[in-house]
Structure 1
């Protein structure tokens, strides 16, 4: 079987065993296999790939190798600008679907105002279907999930700490300009709307009834939110993310 040389650039090396990172690898080539399948056989999901160069020419995922070629594979955003870009451009305010292991990340993103489909019992097939049907961005720690053909736009979350995950996703999709904190229910993803205290007073605990005056109610599940110490903490976290965004985008 003929062979080609392949090299993965920048963060695509995260998907390779340490001994193979930053090296030129040998890739078995066959006219019957698309280059997408060959790349994924080495562990790199197609959703992380933005540009593929074969002997300097930009090709798509359907390209087949004959053998003897030199292949360069780039992630977004470090791919050559003039090449054919394979990764779809994310929308300015993306909607997400998260795997079952990212519950705290989902709550943080909802707090920031982003539409996040999340259920702790969601399966891979259902998640992929939702991503395709609703044009949602997949966030996952499961590398194998990203190899499903139905998934076009996704991000493999590198960090394991939930707050670092939030920072990572905000950086990846430039979310700070679209922040709309306290507009979504962190429990169910429903929209929040202001309600008069009088209309919910019979649902309040005595201390809340006495000290809180401003209330939000989820239009989907009915959960109530009001200003308390937890809101102050969340506001501080949102401001911290905004300051971080400004620092990283200073000229």
Structure 2
């Protein structure tokens, strides 16, 4: 019977059994088990892992584990530059865009508000989310750890917070998104880009008070919704400013 010694760091401990958190533990290896197989068997989605060290050497997920190996598993690093080390993914995504699962509609709306291309439909099945993530190279946002264990999903984020504003803060902080935000450039309803439009072109679609008080407008060419800088816009602006966006 072959065994290996494992140690998970920081928030990865949230996924494993309480008695195994923040300490070394020995685990029996499955036959020809890879690092990815054992990490996920212990409860951690591979999309949450940034770096794996086996006997002090940086390895990829495909590394087959041997009897007596010491395995250290790390999440995304916030303050330590690990760029000289081998990451478990071949490369980051060139463009940051998301697909959110059925439980994260509020988060999807807030990410769109911040300018991030975010697909969401509360009827999306897991298979469709997996397909979109692969075909369109999107980061999967979910509170379902089993979804993140799917083989073809390479980039994902397990969302721990329960309320949308806190979820937005968590995702912005974990993925370092503040500098990439382009607030109020996407439709909150359908995700399409917004464009500026003259007041004269939308005046018939505006409430009377808005006609009197506002001069700058944008619109979505898909759903034809019109946006202006009202009280709702100011509240969202304040939220984004707390995040550095």
Once the two structures are TM-superposed, the CA of residue 238 in structure 1 deviates from its matched residue by 2.0
**Separation (CA, whole Å) in 2 of partners of 1:113 and 1:175:** 11
**Separation (CA, whole Å) in 2 of partners of 1:87 and 1:160:** 28
C-alpha spacing 1:30/1:227, structure 2 compared with 1 (3 Å): closer
Paired position in structure 1 for 2:223:
221
- Does 86-95 or 165-174 show the bigger shift? 86-95
**Separation (CA, whole Å) in 2 of partners of 1:217 and 1:174:** 29
**Separation (CA, whole Å) in 1 of partners of 2:85 and 2:180:** 29
**Separation (CA, whole Å) in 2 of partners of 1:58 and 1:211:** 60
8 Å contact from structure 2 (residues 11, 75) kept in 1: yes
Once the two structures are TM-superposed, the CA of residue 79 in structure 1 deviates from its matched residue by 8.2
**Separation (CA, whole Å) in 1 of partners of 2:42 and 2:140:** 21
8 Å contact from structure 1 (residues 98, 116) kept in 2: yes
Q: Does 1:158 align with 2:169?
A: no
Paired position in structure 2 for 1:22:
22
**Separation (CA, whole Å) in 1 of partners of 2:139 and 2:66:** 34
**Separation (CA, whole Å) in 2 of partners of 1:12 and 1:134:** 27
8 Å contact from structure 1 (residues 30, 66) kept in 2: no
Moved beyond 6 Å, runs of 4+: none
Q: Mind listing any 5+ residue stretches in structure 1 that lack a counterpart?
A: 246-251
8 Å contact from structure 1 (residues 27, 38) kept in 2: no
Aligned residues: 243
**Separation (CA, whole Å) in 2 of partners of 1:92 and 1:129:** 18
Query: C-alpha deviations, 1:67-105, integer Å up to 9, x for none?
Result: 122111112215855532114554575111111111111
**Separation (CA, whole Å) in 2 of partners of 1:53 and 1:106:** 34
8 Å contact from structure 1 (residues 131, 137) kept in 2: yes
The within-5 A match list for 1:125-204 is: 125-204=127-206
Using structure 1 for the length normalisation, give the TM-score. Answer: 0.90
Query: C-alpha deviations, 1:128-170, integer Å up to 9, x for none?
Result: 1111111111111111011001111111111112111111111
Paired position in structure 2 for 1:5:
5
Once the two structures are TM-superposed, the CA of residue 18 in structure 1 deviates from its matched residue by 2.1
Once the two structures are TM-superposed, the CA of residue 203 in structure 1 deviates from its matched residue by 1.8
3-state SS of 1:170 partner: helix
C-alpha spacing 1:238/1:82, structure 2 compared with 1 (3 Å): closer
Using structure 2 for the length normalisation, give the TM-score. Answer: 0.92
**Separation (CA, whole Å) in 2 of partners of 1:20 and 1:79:** 27
- Aligned-residue CA RMSD (Å): 1.9
3-state SS of 1:213 partner: coil
**Separation (CA, whole Å) in 2 of partners of 1:211 and 1:55:** 66
**Separation (CA, whole Å) in 1 of partners of 2:83 and 2:214:** 53
Paired position in structure 1 for 2:85:
83
